[in-house]
Structure formats: structure tokens, C-alpha cells
Amino acid sequence: MSSIKIELRQEDVNKIKEICTSFNNDPQELINVLHKCQEHFGYLPAEVQEVISNELVVPVAKIYGVVTFYSFFTMTPKGKHPVSICMGTACYVRGAEKVLDEFKKELGLQVGQTTNDGKFSLSSLRCVGACGLAPVVMVGDKTYGRVAPDDVRNILKEYEEGK
Amino acid sequence: METLKLTIDNKQVEVPKGTTINKAAKQLGIEIPTLCYMELHDLNIENNPAGCRICVVEVEKRRNLAPSCATRCEEGMVVKTHTTRVLNARRTVMEFILSDHPKDCLICAKSGNCDLQAMAHQLGIREIPGQEIAAMSTYKKDTSPSIIRNQDKCILCRRCEMMCNTVQTVGALSAVNRGFMATVAPAFEQNLEYSTCTYCGQCVAVCPTGALTEVDNTPDVLRALADPTKTVIVQTAPAVRAALGELFGMEPGTLVTGKMVTALRALGFDYVFDTDFAADLTIMEEGTELLDRLTRHLKGDKTARLPILTSCCPGWVNFFEEYFPDLKDVPSTSKSPQQMFGAIAKTYFADKIKVNRKDLVVVSIMPCLAKKYECQREEFSLDGNRDVDFSISTRELAAFIKQANIDLNNLEEGEFDAPLGESTGAGVIFGTTGGVIEAAVRTAYEVHTGKKLPKVDFNELRGLEGVRSATIDFDGLPINIGIAHGLGNARKLLNDVRSGKSKFHAIEVMACPGGCIGGGGQPLHHGNSEIIKARAAAIYAEDKKKPLRKSHENPFIIKLYEEFLGKPNSEKAHHLLHTKYFDKKKKIIVKQ
Ligand code: SF4
Ligand code: SF4
Ligand code: SF4
Ligand code: FES
């Protein structure tokens, strides 16, 4: 039987409740509620899903099912420097996948994961509207254009300690 | 009703609007194979995720093959169900499913009873192309006190999810992940033990493969039987005798009480007893509690909460501890018959035969998987020695009997041993929805009014309607009774109790649709409610045959109170036969 204790700060609980109320606690709005919560927390840890489950009266197993089904939801916190690679058509045809593979290799991560030290996380994006610069990589707010696999190591260097 | 006409395999058929191609074909006697699809007629529930694609057919003017279980008929449609294209597609689909499925049918609990195995056979699959290159995905195995989940064998039909969510409203299981990692799992893919699961076993009962099975405790029982230092006794729940025969080729509804007793004796049990005896005992305790609360309530005592809820179903107990912990003082405190039996066996009976409780092994045969968990609850053991050591299901017993090469069909009728094997008809009907409350009414009426019941049968309490109610006249005092089976139905009645709207004095709840006769440990009924009805009829027939049909008339119960317990609800009875409930709802702890 469920024996897991959940810990959250009061303000976090209030925020989740507020988001749920803004959707009238309607279970049909689950996906939108999850979107808003992820926007706020950056990710959707188990604790957050439990509170949503209570508020919308949807079994938490269902919520977890939705979170794991859609690739834009994540349960791992983003790194200090979130790396995103655009996988829109333009970027894709210009070799974004090779760039992504290089990031995977360099960071030892799969898409959706974060390094153990919390520094980098890796995700893929749909078109960011900078097709002229394809392939496009973003690290935090900074955009890099025409990235080739060989550039990957240099990009990551910029974020090494002390820089 | 609006109807439409279509052609299936060159035959015309007229069906109501909204009918699926599969059902329309059935009307013509054409069987289109299905795998993920399942229908539970009486619950009005259909599982058609259209996931497996085994049931595809060709529809004229459509490019793609259509899943017949989910595609609705249209006026003038022309359908072909077994063209070479269709047969080829079915084979490909099956090969694809099998390419990621373990091939250990030799030792699989579902072998011989598995829909996937049967379908592979029906489609004549003898080889699985691509098997050598494709690595099979693997998923952790999860063993809980009652249920084993082996998701490598999951074919994603999502029947379990439907049972757990729609019928039981427990919501412990959901489809998770995508691609090769897609499966059905509890939240955060934790083990079932840490989910909201009630162990009702209804997911196991509908799983077409060996992905969900019961924990097999027959090896434990065999070990105890083989140990010469142990005295091993067995109790059999009422619903078992009404279904066990099905696993030996008998018609549903065949009562095998006597043969079952003989088989258990042949297996080596030292005493063969009956849970029905403990059911009579439950009625004494629960009935007394009901009358006590009722009298106090009528006198205006606000602490006497009504309605009283039955507490003999451990799946149901798990459910309210999880979802209605605020109402945990509403159910009767009486233990389930299984646990009452254990408590009496390890005290009164152990003393009688002068055996130390540590050398007395109590085995129960149950239609139920929740009972496995129940007998492992900490409060039901003394210094680590359980009141009931092992609980095995009807299915496990059948397998055990076959293992010992005993043919149930050809056995003599045996009799239960005394003193814990004597029961009345009231104990027997515990096995079906409505039975517990009918048994309680039979006794409560006579105790309360001091008069003999004009009629023992209460037909108004019987039936398979999910939620039922009746008012019974206690000699001028109308008693309102509610009945629910299936946890979704129980939830409806409980919500009324919570909001103060409930008009009932007493409510009976059983977690499984149909009550224990439809329990998670019974022979698989594949959603066929005729089988449930036949089992219920068998239970009522056994009740009718009994010379005594009211629990308080059971001479061995009377003697047990005289010699040992004193009066119902006495201090000793409270100590041995009553329990308390826990708040199991997950708490959200706020960091300061
Ligand atoms: S045993 Fe019952 S509650 Fe548990 S997962 Fe299966 S259907 Fe759900
Ligand atoms: S566990 Fe069984 S019932 Fe559930 S989806 Fe898998 S195969 Fe179907
Ligand atoms: S209804 Fe019977 S079989 Fe089902 S969980 Fe309850 S006690 Fe067990
Ligand atoms: S039976 Fe129709 S898709 Fe599975």
C-alpha cells in the first residue's frame, strides 16, 4: 500500500493548486495543467504529480502515464545549462541529428537526461524559427547557428567552470 | 432503433446503428479472431483500444485494413473477413507481437489458459522471423504479497487498466511510456505494493497472458504437508466449492463440496475445516455490533455511527483505508471469516488438540487474491506466527490436486471435520453478493424481535445489479439495506455516506463483481456472466439443502461461545475476532 511520504514547500503546493484552479480543477485539462506546472518548476517531479492528482481527482498512475507518453514532459530537473537541439525539418536535413549524437557522446546523456553534477541537460526542440541558421543549438538563452559536430566540444567549453 | 444494412463475406446483414463489424459478423455466425478486445456484458463495459490489430478485415473502398472490434458498420459497407490479404496481415501482426514475447510457455502459469498462446496456435505460427536479430525488451519483475507482474509478457491490451480504472475505480494501473518501453504500470513504475492497489485481483482475472498472475503459495503448503512435525489444517471459503469443478471439466454451477473435502484429505491435510463455520461466527459478531449500534442510534446516541459497513472482504478494506480513511470508524470491526478462523484455530482448537500454535499450520483456500495480503498483515499474527499461514486460490488448489494425480470427478463425497467444519446455510451464502447481509438479517431479525423468521429467504437482497437496496421490516422497525459489489459501485455508496446523504442502516460491500464467486482467484470466466450466475445459483442451492440456515443456530458456534468466548462482542471476542483499520492515504508533507 502507498507508504511514500511526499515533501514539498507550502508555496509550491499553493502554486500547483492555483494552476489547477485556473483550469477549474477539470480533469480534462490535465495536459494543460501539466504544461503550466512544468513551465513553473522546469520539470514534473513525482511530488508535483501527486498534488495534481489530489486536486484534479485523477489517479496519479494516469498522470504518470501522460507524463511518460509525451516527450515534452520531463521528470528530471533541467541542468544549469540546458542544451537544446532543434530537430525541425530545416535543421534536420542539415545534419542536426549528427550534432545531437555528438552532444550525447560528449555529455554521456540521452535526450531528457541531466548530468549527475546538474550542469548540463539535453533536449530536442521542434522548429525554433531560425531556419536560416540551421542547424541551431541553444544553450540556456544563447543561440548557436550552423553548428557542425566538430563545434560541439568548443560550445561546451564555454560553460566549463569559471567561465 | 435505427438500423443499417451491410454485406459481410457476401452475406447481407441488418444491424442497429453503432454496431461494430465484429459483432455484425457474429450475427452471421462469422467469428473474427480478437485478442485485446474484451466485453463484460453485465457491467456494460467494453475494452476496445484497437491495439493488437489481430481482428483486421478488408473494407471495400478503404485503403487500409480496419480493426473490426472498433470499426462501426456503415450503410452499404462491403466487408471481407478472411481474404488472403487479411490472413497475411494477421500473421504478420502475430509474428510481431511474438518477436518481443518470452517463449517460456513450459513454465508459465497461464499456459493452457492463455489467449496469446491460443491465438498463435490458431494462426498456425511455427516460426518467428527476425527473432535472432531483435533483442527482446525486458522489464523488471514485480512481486507483491498477492500478485506477480511480469510485464515482459504484457501485450498491451490494457484490459487490466480498464478493470482497475473503470470497474474498480482504483486507478493503480495505467499505460506508461512509449515504444518498446511501453507497458502498464503503477505510478512512477513503483512496485504494486507501493501503489493504491487493493489486491482485488480483477486485473489478474482478465489478463490474457502470463503478465499478471497470483503469487503461487502451493509450494509453501506442500512443504508444510511434508513436514512431520506440523499439524496442517485447511479451511475452504464458500465460493470455492461453487467453481472448483469448472477446472475439472464440470459445468459451471456444479457444487463439489464433498469431493473437494475428499481431495483435501487425500492431499494430506490433518483436518479439513470450513470457512463457513467462521462466517457463522462473523455473523454473531457483526450482527451483534449492528444491533448494538442501531439500538444506541435509535436512543439518540450520537457516537453510534450508521450505516454499519460489512468488513469481511479484504479488498474492500484495503480500498476504504486508501480512499475513505475519514470513514474508518464506520465499517464493522469484525475480522473477515478467514482471519476469525485463524484466530480461533490457533487458540481454541490448538489447545483442544494440544498442539503449540507454532506447530499448527493453517491454510486457507480462497476465491480471492486479497486474502494472501490479508493473512500477511502484521496485526494478524502473534510473535511473527501468522493466524493464517498461507492462503491459496481456487486456481492454485485445482493445480495442486492435478499435481497429486487426483481426479476430482471420481471422488467420493467427504464430510468436513468437527468442530470447525460445521456451518449453516447463512455461512454458505457469504460467497455471493448480497449473501453476507442476508445472513446478518436472518440472525439480527430473530435476536432483535425475539420472534422466528416467517421466511428465511430474502429474495429482495439477491441478484447481480451492481448497487441494490431493500427495506426489511424488523417487526415494525424498517431497516434500510444497501448492497454494492465491484469497488466502483462501493465508491458511489461511500460518497453518499461521506456527504451524510446515505439513508441506509447497513451496507454490504464486496470488492469483486458478483462477490467472491467472481473473485480474482477463481477459474477465469472470460467476462461470461452466465458463469457467475450459475455459481450464485449453486451457492443458494447449497444453502437450501442445509438443515440449519441461521448462524445463531449452529450448535458448534453456541458451544464455542459457552466454552471459550463468552458472549458475542465480549472482551475475549473483541480481542480475538475484531480488528482496527488504518489510514493508508498518501500524505503530502509540507516542508516548513
Ligand atoms: S488487484 Fe485490483 S486494485 Fe490492484 S491493480 Fe489489479 S484491479 Fe487494480
Ligand atoms: S498486463 Fe495483461 S491485461 Fe494488462 S495490458 Fe498487459 S497483457 Fe493486457
Ligand atoms: S469480494 Fe471476495 S474474492 Fe473479491 S476481494 Fe472481496 S473477499 Fe476477495
Ligand atoms: S481485437 Fe481488435 S484490435 Fe485487438
- For B376-431, write each residue's pLDDT tens digit: 999 999 999 999 999 999 999 999 999 999 999 999 999 999 999 999 999 999 99
Structural Rg of chain B based on CA atoms: 25
Q: How far apart are CA B282 and CA B299, in angstroms?
A: 25
> In A42-122, which ranges are continuous DSSP H helix?
46-56, 60-69, 89-93, 96-107
Grid coordinates of B213: 498472475
* Alpha-carbon distances, residue B89 vs B53, B81, B95, B460 (angstroms): 9, 12, 10, 52
Give which of B98, B153, B364 is closest to B238, Cα–Cα. B364
Biggest CA pair distance of chain A: 55
Is a pLDDT exceeding 70 seen at residue B591? no
Distance from A46 to chain B by nearest Cα, in Å?
7
Q: How far apart are CA B269 and CA B45, in angstroms?
A: 42
In the predicted model, what is the mean pLDDT of chain A? 88
Ligand nearest to the CA of B508: 3
The per-residue pLDDT for B132 is: 60
Chain-chain contact of A4 with B586 (C-beta, under 8 angstroms): yes
Is a pLDDT exceeding 60 seen at residue B442? yes
- B188: which chain A residues are within 8 Å (Cβ-Cβ)? 46, 60, 64
Distance from A27 to chain B by nearest Cα, in Å?
14
Percent of chain A with pLDDT over 90: 54
In the predicted model, what is the mean pLDDT of chain B? 94
B49 CA distance to ligand 4 middle (Å): 7
Question: What is the number of other CB atoms lying within 10 angstroms of the CB of residue B292?
Answer: 14
- Per DSSP, B467 falls in state E
Cβ–ligand 2 contact at B211 (below 6 Å): yes
Classify domain B3-82 at the CATH class level: alpha beta
- The whole-number average pLDDT for the span B450-478 is 94
Classify domain B99-214 at the CATH class level: alpha beta
Q: How far apart are CA B70 and CA B18, in angstroms?
A: 10
The per-residue pLDDT for B156 is: 93
The per-residue pLDDT for A4 is: 46
- pLDDT tier at B130 (50, 70, 90 boundaries)? low
- The whole-number average pLDDT for the span A100-127 is 87
Each domain of chain A, given as residue ranges in start order, spans 10-69, 81-160
- Per DSSP, B347 falls in state I
Chain-chain contact of B588 with A9 (C-beta, under 8 angstroms): no
B307: cis peptide before it, omega within 30°? yes
Is a pLDDT exceeding 90 seen at residue B41? no
Is residue B542 within 8 A of residue B257, CB to CB? The reply is yes
Chain-chain contact of B178 with A1 (C-beta, under 8 angstroms): no
Residue type, B256: V
> How confident is the model over A7-66, as pLDDT tens digits?
788 999 999 999 999 999 999 999 999 999 998 988 899 999 999 999 999 999 999 999
Grid coordinates of B122: 490458431
Residue list, ligand 3 pocket, CB within 6 Å: B 200, 313-316, 367-368, 370, 510-512, 515-516, 519
- pLDDT tier at B569 (50, 70, 90 boundaries)? very high
Of B118-127, B340-349, B478-487, the range with the lowest mean pLDDT is B118-127
Is a pLDDT exceeding 50 seen at residue B185? yes
B547: cis peptide before it, omega within 30°? no
Is a pLDDT exceeding 90 seen at residue B471? yes
The larger pLDDT score, comparing residue B509 to residue B300, is at B509
- Per DSSP, B480 falls in state E
Closest Cα to atom 2, ligand 2: which residue? B207
Is a pLDDT exceeding 90 seen at residue B527? no
- The whole-number average pLDDT for the span B493-517 is 95
Cβ–ligand 4 contact at B89 (below 6 Å): no
Chain-chain contact of A4 with B322 (C-beta, under 8 angstroms): no
Q: Which secondary-structure segment (H or E) carries B470?
A: strand B467-474
Classify domain B218-577 at the CATH class level: alpha beta
- ipTM associated with this complex: 0.85
The larger pLDDT score, comparing residue B592 to residue A94, is at A94
Is a pLDDT exceeding 70 seen at residue B265? yes
Q: Which CATH architecture has domain A81-160?
A: 3-Layer(aba) Sandwich (3.40)
Active site residue B332: yes
Each domain of chain B, given as residue ranges in start order, spans 3-82, 99-214, 218-577
- The whole-number average pLDDT for the span A95-119 is 89
Is a pLDDT exceeding 70 seen at residue B360? yes
